[in-house]
Amino acid sequence: MKRCQQFIQYGWLLALASLFIACKEQPQTFAVHAPIFPSNTERVTYTLRRIEGDVEVVRLFESVQTINSAGTTSAPSAEVLLKTWNSPSASSFPLTFTRSTGYGSNRLVTYRFEVVGSKNNYQHRITFATRPYPVPNQAAPVYVVGDVNKIMNLVFIPDTDMASDLTTFRNAVKTDIDEVFHEEDWIRRFRSSYNFFINPATGHAHDYDTETRDHELPSNWDNLSFAQGKVILHSRSIRDFNEPDKNLFSAEHYVKGTLLHESGHCFYRLADEYGGGVHWQEAELPNNWSTLIACRNDAAGRGMTTADAHQMGTSGWYKLCPASCVMESSGAAMHPYEKPCRDRILYALLKRSSQ
């Protein structure tokens, strides 16, 4: 009975998920800029990457605002067309355009790729700030695509062990946006559901196995409550973890699979899928179950079979995902979120957007 109610409750959600899969034939493109948080003089390069689908025309526009130390912004300038690509061939991707000059100080830049496909047109509209960001003690927007109150916000915090090499830190932020959030096969479909920021103050990540299990917070911590995720990117090799009460996790700046795994705990409350991890059962669309029978009972409604239900090691906890799911296999290789985790991600994004 409970399973039936769950199916009715989430049937529409799973139908929506299959719609996203059906939309795969449309062009899939991803936009990014570099440097991700440019100085006032650095020239910015814009890139449009294509995963699949036919693209007929691409246009790139920009608009600039000023921002002062109080965070007050001017009206945006009229949009300027920077470049048009007509009938770009598959081999011409990624499309790139580099400005001849920097944007200057105290600027917010919004660029827009207009993508005309054979079946649909769509936009990538992204806003970023230039360095130094004039608003004291506030995280700077470096890749903002939507309403901070409706989508997920992730603040990248440099560890004290990266404070002397912030260029590496900023390059890692760009890589994480472009090669984690815009690459993993499920979450890249929701590219309009994540904003990214860089924090001016450092934090310090602790090792889960050998140090106290609370990360050291940046001095402006109280200003970061708007963000559903905060990640301390660090250089030293440690065992990373998420602090659920703070929505704070850590990751090596060069390990994409860890970022994906820890953000899974933080953004969607996905539990670990390996024996010896941290286990709990969410009330809605869990990826861990406290009993084998409950796990089996939910299998069909989650696109799996009862044979998929199995114990994680000797933990006494059960799951449906195969070992390939990133919630079991994190690390250097970036594994995907498997089906049961995908349901939970979609649920979390929809819940956030309806707040």
Binding site for Zn ion (CB under 5 A): 287, 321, 325, 327, 338, 341
Q: Residue 276 Cβ, how far from Zn ion at the closest point, in Å?
A: 16
Which residue lies nearer to Zn ion by CB, 252 or 338? 338
Nearest of 216, 231, 103, 233 to residue 165 by alpha carbon: 233
Q: Residue 331 Cβ, how far from Zn ion at the closest point, in Å?
A: 15
Contacts of 256 (CB under 8 A, 6+ apart): 175, 176, 179, 180, 332, 334
Distance CA 119, CA 306 (A): 40
Which residue lies nearer to Zn ion by CB, 195 or 287? 287
Which residue lies nearer to Zn ion by CB, 187 or 325? 325
- State the CB neighbour count (10 A cutoff) for residue 332: 10
Region of residue 268 (left: phi > 0; alpha: psi -120 to 50; beta: else): alpha
Q: What is the CA radius of gyration of the chain?
A: 21
Mutual angle of helices 2-22 and 292-299, in 10-degree steps: 50
Distances (CA, A) of 71 to 67, 133, 140, 301: 6, 10, 10, 47
Q: Residue 232 Cβ, how far from Zn ion at the closest point, in Å?
A: 24
Q: Residue 151 Cβ, how far from Zn ion at the closest point, in Å?
A: 22
* Pairing of β 45-52 and β 95-98: antiparallel
Which residue lies nearer to Zn ion by CB, 139 or 341? 341
Q: Residue 4 Cβ, how far from Zn ion at the closest point, in Å?
A: 24
Q: Which residues share a beta bridge with 233?
A: 158, 251
Reading the block at residue 55, the tokens are: 């693209």
Reading the block at residue 191, the tokens are: 């590219």
Q: Residue 191 Cβ, how far from Zn ion at the closest point, in Å?
A: 21
Distance CA 151, CA 243 (A): 20
Which residue lies nearer to Zn ion by CB, 97 or 186? 186
Which residue lies nearer to Zn ion by CB, 127 or 287? 287
